[in-house]
Amino acid sequence: MPGLRLDYQQRKAFPWGGLALLALALGVLGATGAYYRDMDSQAEDWEARAAQLERASRQPALEAGSGGRGSESLALEVKRANEVLRQLNLPWERLFRAVELSGGKDVALLALEPDTEKHSVKISGEAKNMATLLDYIKQLKQRDVFGAVYLQNHQILLQDPDKPVRFALLADWLDQP
> For position 66, what pLDDT does the model report?
53
Q: Which residues of 97-119 are buried (b: 16+ CB within 10 A; e: fewer)?
A: ebbeebbeeebeeeeeebeeeee
The domain that holds 111 is classified in CATH as: 3.30.1360.100
Give the range of the structural domain holding residue 157, as residue numbers without chain letter.
91-173
Q: Is residue 5 part of a domain?
A: no
Total count of domains within the chain:
2
Indicate if 97 and 80 belong to the same structural domain. Answer: no
Q: What percent of the chain has pLDDT over 70?
A: 91
- Is pLDDT at 77 greater than 60 in this prediction? yes
Task: Tell whether 2 is covered by a domain.
Answer: no
Does residue 144 register a pLDDT over 60? yes
Flag whether 7 is in a domain.
no
Supply the pLDDT for residue 67. 54
User: Is the model's pTM score more than 0.85?
Assistant: no
Non-local CB neighbours of 19 within 8 Å, separated by 6+ positions: none
Q: Are residues 107 and 155 in the same domain?
A: yes
pLDDT score of 158: 87
Q: What is the mean pLDDT of the chain?
A: 83
Whether 95 and 77 map to the same domain: the answer is: no
pLDDT one-digit tens code per residue, 13-53: 778 888 899 999 999 999 999 999 999 999 999 988 888 88
Whether pLDDT at 177 is above 80? no
